[in-house]
Amino acid sequence: MTFLPSDSLVLGPRHKSFPPETWGRPVTDVIGTLDVTNGDFMTPAISLSESALRANVALLQRFCAAHGMKLAPHIKTTMSPEIVRAQLAAGAWATTVANVYQAAAMMDVSNRFLIANQVQDVRAIDFMGAIRDDNPDVEMMCWVDSVDGVCRMDAVLNARGQRHAVPVLVEVGLAGGRAGVRTLADAQHVAAAVSASSHLHLVGVCAFEGVIHSAEEVTRFLEFVAEVAFELSTASSEDTFIVSAGGTSYLEAVADELATRWADDSQMMVVLRSGCYVAYDSGVYARERRGLALAFAPAVHVWSTVVSRPEPELAILDFGKRETGTDCGFPTVEFRIPSGRGEVMAPPAGRIIAMNDQHTYFHLASGDPRGLAVGDVLGCGISHPCTTFDKWSVLPVVDDAWRLAGLVTTRF
């Protein structure tokens, strides 16, 4: 498992945080020469822990194998060919994406895609049809949740002279949630429309429980998903019928409620679609999964310099919303590197209270004697990797001593 671009990437000023002395040099030439703790990267900077990435990839793959599930990681989290290759090499069955564009961007990396969405854009439907007809080595399937949506897809595919049926899954949703049928009757109507279509065929049922914030409600929802899957699979002639669910927060529930139910049924294939597990975080997922046996490691840290101490209890840092997501909370300050010291220490007590595009406000707890000086560097754990990776075209991978050990690219 090597986290390096397959081509010889030459570093330059477009690669945020890499210092001028690396510009014009292949990234392989600078491996091992840059150290976060020595101030070798320009802030704001980001780092990915190599050991955490490796551990997270292996941990979820073992979990799926132990519970008889297939893994189709949602690669929208990283959109990184290097990380996705590592997930596939570890045994992932497929890759999940959010839209046709993300699948197209990764077709040189993966050949099986679950598009976890309804595809209703005419050009996107046409693209799926072309892939199905002209690229037999690539599998691409998407969700449907309405008769109107099925008919729209069928009409577009018919207009392009579709030769081979495009596989789809009926999405199950919940009241007040996102897309997906709300009742078993609705699911059966959509499945009947797919069966009547000349250009679509039903291969399974899917759902996403991550928008629910109660374990008890997740269990009830997955029981409903199982009911729909049982009824539609009974009417299906498919040798393999997919039942897919799972984010990162409640992946154990998917194993308990779906995989266990069909452990001895060779027709039913339970596919887990977790995405954030690979990089994890120190925020929303760490809170939601606190105390669970399956313990992922936060791999992402953002590094910033204290640029101003305008008030006794306020420090202004040189990173902001251009470097990390804030949709699930602000980052958490975890490390301090005093200016000129090259030593990773605990930070002073405090919390981030606001963020602008390029500035962050760190409020220090009164009475903490450690203080902060202009020029000190702070390392922050993030909350929600999905809205952090997209801020970076390249992300340095570091070893446990914070030295550059690799690099991953993104394709957002």
Tens digits of residue pLDDT in 324-345: 999 999 999 999 999 988 889 9
15, 393 in Cβ contact below 8 A?
A: yes
Predicted TM-score (pTM) of the model is 0.96
DSSP state of 42: P
Distance of alpha carbon 376 from alpha carbon 176, whole angstroms: 46
pLDDT of residue 7: 75
222, 258 in Cβ contact below 8 A?
A: yes
Cα separations (Å) of 265 from 190, 212, 220?
24, 28, 22
pLDDT at 219 over 80: yes
pLDDT of residue 213: 84
User: Among residues of the chain, what percentage have pLDDT more than 70?
Assistant: 100
Among 380, 379, 355, 375, which Cα is nearest to 307's? 375
pLDDT of residue 1: 65
pLDDT of residue 341: 80
pLDDT of residue 2: 77
In sequence order, the 6+-apart residues with CB closer than 8 A to the CB of 269 are: 70, 204, 240, 241, 242, 243
Average pLDDT along the chain: 96
- Quick: pLDDT tens for 272-289: 999 999 999 999 999 999
pLDDT band at residue 184 under the 50/70/90 scheme: very high
Phi, psi of 145 (to 5 degrees): -145, 10
Distance of alpha carbon 38 from alpha carbon 341, whole angstroms: 8
Q: What is the mean pLDDT of residues 13-18?
A: 97
Distance of alpha carbon 21 from alpha carbon 12, whole angstroms: 9
409, 374 in Cβ contact below 8 A?
A: no
pLDDT of residue 278: 98
Radius of gyration of the chain (CA): 23
Strand order in the sheet with 139-144: 70-71, 268-272, 241-245, 200-207, 166-172, 139-144, 112-118, 95-97
pLDDT at 352 over 80: yes
Paired tokens of 229: 């899957």
pLDDT of residue 42: 98
Q: Which residue has the higher pLDDT, 64 or 366?
A: 64
Domains and CATH numbers, the chain: 18-48+296-409 (2.40.37.20), 111-274 (3.20.20.10)
pLDDT at 391 over 90: yes
Q: What is the mean pLDDT of residues 195-208?
A: 97
371, 339 in Cβ contact below 8 A?
A: no
Q: Comparing 123-127, 150-154, 363-367, 402-406, which segment has the lowest mean pLDDT?
A: 363-367
Burial 137-160 (b: 16+ CB within 10 A, else e): eebbbbbbbbeebbebbbebbeee
296, 286 in Cβ contact below 8 A?
A: no
Q: Which residue has the higher pLDDT, 8 or 273?
A: 273
Alpha-carbon torsion angle 186, 215, 211, 119, nearest 10? -40
Q: Note every long-range contact of 341-344, with CB atoms under 8 Å and residues 24 or more positions apart, other chains counting.
A: 342/35, 342/37, 342/38, 342/39, 343/37, 344/37, 344/379, 344/402
